[in-house]
Structure 1
């Protein structure tokens, strides 16, 4: 669902270069005429973003709730800022919740989403002149709907320190992977799960891509195969366990080391009494859920298994984006379509690029090319299907 021209309150974020923003010293005002760039199960009512009417669904967290998401149009500031001040009004009746997050365009890519409390300066991971806000509303299966309105954002010169950093190399951790399944269900970003789908779920919305986007993607590897997939759902077990972040900046479980999921600590060591954030007894140490196509086809798994997961947005390095309309892109063990399949990359997923080499000429969405990209040792994809720049020769 796409919502446009939300006037006054809910659509207070400006489109780039068309509306002047208030200065850091002035009082922020609502700005009309902007758009909501991506949304799922939300509606506009009295100029507020309100949870929509879709019924509660069981997602990868196995917790029934109604939920909705809206990404507002990015804001372009006159100059780069290291912090922003968001202000908004919320209503959360009957045990519901409403959250506002912010991210910044840093080093030619979007940073991770981080909570933006109303009226409190929020540090960005780096100086940026472009930010985006996201609204997430959720509620029990019955009851009144939560809403967010009067949203405003502006740069601020308040002293803040960001705990979010981008490493030279993305974090990789050894985690237990389970199969999500749930064909026909709806993920946290509004994607309807199809048979042998390609995506993953992680237990925090900080790394949740919007529907159809691979802004937050992971590389998941076994000893012999790898899959590059977008993060389109939240789970397993927890919803506020961004375990890939440094301990001090995790949403919850700050006493756990970076890279260790709370569910793993609960299952293996009795952490938190062996329970997840919802008080359920943790029955396995899963730190990532894999859609069926990722699980069966991409990685060739037949049972839940330990894998190496790399959270690509947490580090620098060469990137490309899989540009296909559906399905997946095969990873080959040589620069040829006759090479053995050693993994897959899902639609819109980002892939790491180590170097490029010449090989078989292939025609795809990016034209005809004999350039192949090495995305992992011994694994190649045809550049004809990947939107990417030029890289050093292998």
Structure 2
């Protein structure tokens, strides 16, 4: 579920934000050797959520905060997603200059992500300079607008970006997997943080940080969620933000983690608050934490993928922290089987748009699917198999024969 964001600092005055480029190691180096461009804020289209463009700039389409009775959000939020930009040469840092006008509780944040062979990096705040652990060849920008009270607003007039190369920093360890507590989302008919309208028996998850939020109808950030026995798993895209917190990328190292840096890597803040009274037993908004949830599962993921009947501990693999070839599931939910044929037992599901890690492939039963007729079956990192007839694309390397 989407839960309230941290309340913005408010003033009675309108302020103009001009967030400068990161000065180190040298502004002259970035100007001379870097690449510069501006985001076209007028290109509001179907992958954007609750924003519109006017003569004054980019702003929320509906700035009314959700009513206090809503369990999902006490703030208005909008996301503008710019098209990816192909860089003229690889870069390790992207910085943003933002010109924005905010009033009484409105906020504007610019985030970027970069593409490398293994896929997209996490979203990073660009106003202080986002530094990636390895060079990226494409950059995508998004603007997140919020209004925490009636009358609050944010208008972004310009976003200027620069890409250059600096010394890289270490990111999270590849292939991170942690045991966290899962709850069920429900909320059919509601809209997720990326603009998806929830349907019955839906297949996606929510994590308590936007750093791993996929744009609508993509699996750029996919998790593998398994029961603790490993008997059932589902590969599902991250399409929502929650539960409890919205800035708790608990899978990251302390040096990278946005908040709660003193907690062990892999422990959600809600779990620490519930189990040991961390932060006085409250979340980032001051609410008493009533369960240790670190992931929310859509109904189809919960009931059909994992076959759960109640909230439970699960093992979550944050697949974008790994490496190697990835296959995009173009039609699903797709059965995950123990062998290369439809007669083998089903051990879970891969949701449509999920990006699944492929170790190698084998030949097996011929299957006619939406993309091809083939006897190729891809063995996933979990040791299970999916038919290649349902995989729309493969990226991140060449898939070898098993």
- Both structures adopt the same fold (TM-score exceeding 0.5): yes
1:245 aligns with 2:255: no
What's the TM-score, normalizing by structure 1? 0.86
- In structure 2, the partner of 1:100 is 110
Q: Which range is displaced more, 197-206 or 315-324? A: 315-324
Shift of 1:105: 1.2
Question: Would the alpha carbon gap of residues 313 and 172 (structure 1) be closer, same or farther in structure 2, given more than 3 Å must change?
Answer: same
1:131 aligns with 2:139: yes
Residue pair 2:208, 2:248 contacting (<8 A) in 1 also: yes
Residue pair 2:226, 2:233 contacting (<8 A) in 1 also: yes
In the alignment, the residues of structure 1 paired with residue 343 and residue 42 of structure 2 have an alpha-carbon distance, to the nearest angstrom, of 49
Match of 1:181 among 165, 178, 186: 186
Question: Would the alpha carbon gap of residues 127 and 286 (structure 1) be closer, same or farther in structure 2, given more than 3 Å must change?
Answer: same
Once the two structures are superposed, residues 193-252 of structure 1 have per-residue CA deviations (whole angstroms, 9 ceiling, x without a partner) of 000100000000000000101000000001200000000000000000001110111110
Q: Which range is displaced more, 199-208 or 314-323? A: 314-323
What's the TM-score, normalizing by structure 2? 0.85
1:216 aligns with 2:221: yes
In the alignment, the residues of structure 1 paired with residue 328 and residue 37 of structure 2 have an alpha-carbon distance, to the nearest angstrom, of 37
Question: Would the alpha carbon gap of residues 323 and 32 (structure 1) be closer, same or farther in structure 2, given more than 3 Å must change?
Answer: closer
1:289 aligns with 2:299: no
3-state DSSP of counterpart to 1:206: helix
3-state DSSP of counterpart to 1:347: coil
In the alignment, the residues of structure 2 paired with residue 239 and residue 26 of structure 1 have an alpha-carbon distance, to the nearest angstrom, of 33
Shift of 1:124: 2.3
In the alignment, the residues of structure 2 paired with residue 126 and residue 309 of structure 1 have an alpha-carbon distance, to the nearest angstrom, of 25
Once the two structures are superposed, residues 37-58 of structure 1 have per-residue CA deviations (whole angstroms, 9 ceiling, x without a partner) of 7311110011622111275458
1:278 aligns with 2:285: yes
Shift of 1:78: 2.2
Structure 1: gaps (5+ residues):
1-21
1:115 aligns with 2:115: no
In the alignment, the residues of structure 2 paired with residue 301 and residue 142 of structure 1 have an alpha-carbon distance, to the nearest angstrom, of 40
Residue pair 2:374, 2:388 contacting (<8 A) in 1 also: yes
**RMSD of aligned alpha carbons:** 2.5
Map 1:1-394 to 2 at 5 A.
23-24=31-32, 30=38, 35=43, 38-46=47-55, 48-53=57-62, 56-57=65-66, 62-117=72-127, 120-140=128-148, 142-156=150-164, 159=166, 161-165=168-172, 167=173, 169-222=174-227, 223=229, 224-324=231-331, 327-389=332-394, 391-394=399-402
Once the two structures are superposed, residues 71-127 of structure 1 have per-residue CA deviations (whole angstroms, 9 ceiling, x without a partner) of 11222332222212211112332212211101111125111111111xx43312322
Residue pair 2:118, 2:325 contacting (<8 A) in 1 also: no
Shift of 1:63: 2.9
3-state DSSP of counterpart to 1:293: helix
In the alignment, the residues of structure 1 paired with residue 118 and residue 35 of structure 2 have an alpha-carbon distance, to the nearest angstrom, of 30
Q: Which range is displaced more, 82-91 or 306-315? A: 82-91
Once the two structures are superposed, residues 269-314 of structure 1 have per-residue CA deviations (whole angstroms, 9 ceiling, x without a partner) of 1111111000011111100000000000000000001110000001
Which structure is richer in relative contact order (CA contacts within 8 A, separation 6 or more)? Answer: 2
In the alignment, the residues of structure 2 paired with residue 284 and residue 236 of structure 1 have an alpha-carbon distance, to the nearest angstrom, of 10
In the alignment, the residues of structure 2 paired with residue 385 and residue 27 of structure 1 have an alpha-carbon distance, to the nearest angstrom, of 39
Residue pair 1:268, 1:285 contacting (<8 A) in 2 also: yes
